[in-house]
Amino acid sequence: MNNSKQTNPSVTLHEASSQYQSNTHKIKWLAKTIVTLTVSLFLFSCGSKQVENNEEEVFVSELLGKMTLEEKIGQLHQITSQWNMTGPAPEYAQGHEERLKSGLVGSMLNVIGAEATLNAQKLVVENSRLGIPLIFGYDVIHGYRTMFPVPLGEAASWDPEVVKLSASIAALESAAAGLHWTFAPMMDVGRDARWGRVMEGAGEDPYLASILSAARVRGFQGENLADQKTIAACAKHFAGYAFAESGKDYNNVDISNATLHNVILPPFKASTAAGAATYMNSFNTIQGLPASANEYIQRQLLKGDWGFDGFVVSDWNSIGEMVAHGAARDLKEAANMAINAGSDMDMEGNAYTNFLAELVEEGKVDIKIIDDAVKRVLTVKYRLGLFEDPYKYSNKEWEKNTLYSLGNKSAARKVARESIVLLKNEENKLPISKSIKSIAVVGPLADDKDAPLGNWRADAVANSAVSVLEGIKARAGKDVTINYAKGCDLVTSERNFAGEIKFNTTDRTGFAAAVAAAKKSEIVLLAIGEDCFQSGEGRSQADIRLKGLQMELFDAIYAVNPNIVIVLMNGRPVAIPELDAKAPAILETWFLGSEAGHAIADVVFGDHNPSGKLPMTFPRSNGQIPIYYNAMNTGRPGPKNEVFWSHYTDQSNAPLYPFGYGLSYTDFKYDNLAVDSSDPSAIQVSVTLQNTGAVTGTEVAQLYIRDQFASLVRPIKELKGFQKVTLKSGESKDLTFTLTEKELGFYDNEGSYKVEDGMFDVMVGTNSTDLLTETFLLTAEAVQ
């Protein structure tokens, strides 16, 4: 089961008929003529980059000049693949084929595979007047056929190279399957674990999310969009979507301007700087106005201040949804508001295709606005090389040799290992002792070959992942007895991208076998957590504790063998205080992708020393949500002996596991924290990190600051640097971090960036809670 909104596999485009007149020649001729002209015009006066830009500009302008209004609007119209070329089309898709042939569609989503994309492209290129190729987009969120960990899991690697590697292979496979464009990365900074889409992002911190989102963009796009192994990225969802009230998907968002600028926008800005080719806006309102109609963020900031020259696609019918929001009277008004606000392409909303021409004729939409949007779409197509060869990505042979290759799988295993977080390891339960003779592998997710693929699994083959049981068996060898029992089912419903989940709350028939397996084994690996479709779009939860009978199963096993390692699978932080209190070891493995079982075995047996750190705070309970490390101080921070301070009377303020937390099989010591502020433009922070344990290990050293006093209240901690360092047992290293005005300032409510003088705390350590602290003064002279 892959992403639901994709084409019905039985609905494929029929072979393009022999009477198609190829427009490819026309396009190539046009491209060549323009190139020659431009090169001769500019060769002597410009550098080569400028020549390229001018070639692009001249080409796009010339083409635009040939287009009718209808054809222009067509470029802004995106449709999904679900229409039937050989039988009756669903009602809403009737006429799609004719529109494609007439060049009245600019993009399709959910057409996947070399053959289907080739056929759809031919339909357009060989029939339409100008033969402008389609751009094919798809949700390639964590791999195309070879699955990598869900993005939240990858973020736990705190490693831009790892994240980039994953995106580059996803791009390679997607390109080989005829795709040009992924609707990723999602870079919504999320603080609410109830929101199911936190699984698609990089967690709660703007600094970490900025670095990782930019790395993802670089991974998808490589050095050059025209390179056949790369695809265009899409920075989404612009903006504020993760701040849906009460974590309920699509819900209202109410944020201050300072939060917008300091928390939500930084990853977008970083991704624009990294060259993100496209943007997607979001379903939510921002201060009362739907994002699709938000001129301030789309025109003023993105296309203005940030200099973004790609295009913005709406989210799925987000323009149409403005009517339901109560922001537009009808679809026509929604179209008017959205195009004027800078939403360039309408995904499945039919707002532009139905009303833009009328709006132009009525003088409500200036043709310059349409031209600008169309230019942006054509420019991205040009950069992808589609005018040179519209079919270049659609090659069945290349597709066959590329998807799910050994190399791709081995990269997936590497990324999966780096994403695992060791949450608890009492008495060094892990890695498993070399002399062990029997292991129970138990739990509803223990031999699940599908769950590790996670949600948003693109073209993954159902049940294709290496399960925990398979991974453990493969590594344990013949001398270790593996006693497997499922214990219970987690869900009773079919796995399905769009359907609600029903949990098993009654069937305990498998408990006895699980208890027996645990009883006769030295150690138990208990694989529990979430169903893979429990997180993702539309998957908000009011309760993030483990569902169904899982805790009961844990208790039953614990009663006979407390030597339990919990192998957690989940796409969001879960509230597991009881497990933390009892189980001696807990491994956070998210949904690790195709090679999950092998990666888990690598860690369980100590072939890989875990180094992942949580990119999101894990609360103790639902009631603590939203809980995040970079909160503001209140006027009553406490603690106090009486009740009048900011706290709960029935629970600690502290999370179960803080942001940045994660253990290793070795120990690290931080020492000698020092700050040199003699050059206020580049404050030097140094610390000594030592591996004081017995084995080689990798630590993510984290640096936080606190601006003690400012014109706007600042967070009690803000991540402003980290380094991932591998040290042998006993080895130590001096680490240096540099703080400049980029790290020390903040945006005010007018969106202006400022650095203010005063005292700052600098904190360095192993997570956002266990830190060494120093202070320094940023003088007034320094910030002038």
Residues of this chain that interact with ligand BGC (CB under 6 A) are 5, 109, 139, 183, 236, 315-316, 537
| Secondary structure (3-state) at 257 | helix
Least Cβ distance, residue 591 to ligand BGC (angstroms): 17
Q: Write out the two tokens for 170.
A: 């996803």
* SS3 assignment, position 109: strand
Residue 579's contacts (CB-CB under 8 Å, 6 or more residues apart) are: 546, 551, 554, 566, 586
Report the candidate in 268, 222, 264, 221 with the shortest Cα–Cα distance to residue 243. 264
Cβ nearer to ligand BGC, comparing 109 with 701: 109
Q: Least separation, in Å, of the C-beta of 242 and ligand BGC? A: 12
Instruction: Name the residue type at position 64.
Output: L
- The yes-or-no answer on residue 315 being catalytic is yes
Q: Which is nearer to ligand BGC, 77 or 424 (CB)?
A: 77
DSSP strands (E only) in 1-140: 77-80, 107-109, 135-138
Residue 482: strand pairing partners: 439
Closest contact distance (angstroms) between CB of 7 and ligand BGC is 12
If the CB atoms of residues 210 and 278 are measured against ligand BGC, the closer one turns out to be 278
Q: Which amino acid is at 724?
A: K
Q: Which of 310/612 has CB closer to ligand BGC?
A: 310
What does DSSP assign to residue 706? E
CB 107 → ligand BGC: shortest distance, Å? 12
Q: What burial class does residue 690 get, using C-beta atoms within 10 Å of its C-beta: 0-12 exposed, 13-18 middle, 19+ buried?
A: middle
Q: CB of residue 368 vs ligand BGC: minimum separation in angstroms?
A: 29
Supply the angle between the helices 331-341 and 367-383 in degrees, to the nearest 10: 70
Looking at beta carbons only, is 572 or 717 nearer to ligand BGC? 572
Distance CA 276, CA 295 (A): 20
Nearest distance in Å: CB 313, ligand BGC:
9
> Residue with structure tokens 């009737």?
94
Please report how close the Cβ of residue 730 comes to ligand BGC at its closest, in angstroms.
48
Q: How far is the CB of 315 from ligand BGC (least distance, A)?
A: 5
What does the alpha-carbon distance between residue 739 and residue 741 come to, in Å, rounded to a whole number? 7
Across 300-403, the runs of DSSP E, i.e. the strands, are 311-313, 346-347
Q: Which is nearer to ligand BGC, 5 or 545 (CB)?
A: 5
Nearest-Å Rg of the Cα atoms of the chain is: 27
Catalytic-labelled residue, pool 315, 447, 450, 757: 315
Residue nearest to ligand BGC (CB): 183
Q: CB nearer to ligand BGC: give 312 or 514.
A: 312
583-586 contact pairs (CB < 8 A, 24+): 583/424, 583/526, 583/554, 583/558, 584/424, 584/425, 584/426, 584/427, 584/429, 585/422, 585/424, 585/425, 585/426, 585/429, 585/430, 586/422, 586/423, 586/424
Shortest gap between Cβ of 280 and ligand BGC (angstroms)? 6
List alpha helices for 718-778, DSSP H: 741-744
Sheet hosting strand 683-691, strand order edge to edge = 668-676, 683-691, 732-739
State whether residue 728 is helix, strand or coil: coil
| CB of residue 183 to ligand BGC, shortest distance in Å | 3
Q: Which is nearer to ligand BGC, 181 or 398 (CB)?
A: 181
CA distance 379 to 435: 62
- Picking from 677, 702, 698, the residue whose alpha carbon sits closest to that of residue 781 is 677
Residue 496, burial from CB neighbour count under 10 angstroms (0-12, 13-18, 19+)? exposed
Nearer to ligand BGC, 37 or 327 (CB): 327
If the CB atoms of residues 159 and 315 are measured against ligand BGC, the closer one turns out to be: 315
Residue 387's φ and ψ, nearest 5 degrees, are -80, -25
In this structure, the number of other CB atoms found within 10 A of the CB of residue 103 comes to 23
Active-site residue numbers?
315
